[in-house]
Amino acid sequence: MTYLNHISEAIGNTPLVKLNNVTAGVKATILAKVEYFNPGNSVKDRMAVKMIEDAEKAGLLKPGGTIIEGTSGNTGMGLALAAIAKGYKCIFTLSDKQSKEKMDILRAVGAEVRVCPTNVAPDHPDSYYSVAKRLNAEIPNSFYPNQYDNLSNTAAHYEGTGPEIWNQTDGKITHFVTGVGTGGTISGIAKFLKEQNADVKSIGIDTYGSVFKKYKETGIFDENEIYAYATEGIGEDILPKNVDFDLIDTFIKVTDKDAALMTRRLAKEEGLFVGWSCGSAVHGALEYARENNLTEDDVLVVLLPDHGTRYLAKIYNDEWMKAQGYLD
């Protein structure tokens, strides 16, 4: 008989899918790494399991323990799947800008969800970072993975996602594009790809209201760059340890509106029912390909991190889109 011992064993080996219709005017081959094929429907499954396994090996997470994490939703889902398999409890803190679908999904898999305000500084006691840290200090036998600074995040992609992309493209990849939030995805994958071929370019997708692009270009952490934005899962008002700026060749900023519209195009024109930051990544990838005159010899892989079911009440809702000024 062929079967998995637990759903978490289904993580990885996601497909590459060629984009055909949103790529008008682009000569390069554009391939999407579709991460919603992971059982938790996002790329975050990979590093969530890695963080838990590494914590167990280090003695930081013991039987019957509680996993406490600040998340935009997807990491929480991956942690919850690992927790179910291993018998842990979960408490997740989310900012109130995250979609209701994400919160409902986390509760459905047995997690406790604490909703925190978005528009406060990271070190404010009510921020979702601070609340997670405080709960970790208060609850006995608890573990705070801290996906932002936990280098198991990067390692998961160096060991898994990077080799998958290299093998799937038969080593022909020339450019890699992904959104940057915690930084583990781009840092792990870029490290592996550049070790195979130093000429592979890695392009990080940032959002307006985030500090990454200016920090990469100037080395300055500019608080004036920080303001509220709507896109979920990318950009930050902190500098996570998982963001290795030396491995990222350039950043491209994409607006909330451009990201939302491209996400809907991916569903209608490519049959890829993906999440909001997927639109950010593809919009930025196509902008890069056009501005840098990529040719037929170039193979650009863009990672699509999650599934559209996380955003039904937002970007896939016409009335919500109109209320934001994204649709006429």
Rounded CA-CA distance 132/34 in Å is 30
Q: Taking a C-beta distance cutoff of 8 angstroms, is the pair 225, 239 a contact?
A: no
Q: Which residue has the tokens 């200090």?
A: 137
Annotated catalytic residue 322: no
Catalytic residue, from 33, 44, 201, 216: name it. Answer: 44
Full strand arrangement of the beta sheet holding 201-207:
16-18, 29-34, 299-304, 175-179, 201-207, 250-254
Q: Taking a C-beta distance cutoff of 8 angstroms, is the pair 162, 191 a contact?
A: yes
Rounded CA-CA distance 111/141 in Å is 17
Q: Taking a C-beta distance cutoff of 8 angstroms, is the pair 79, 154 a contact?
A: no
DSSP state of 274: B
Q: Just list the catalytic residues.
A: 44
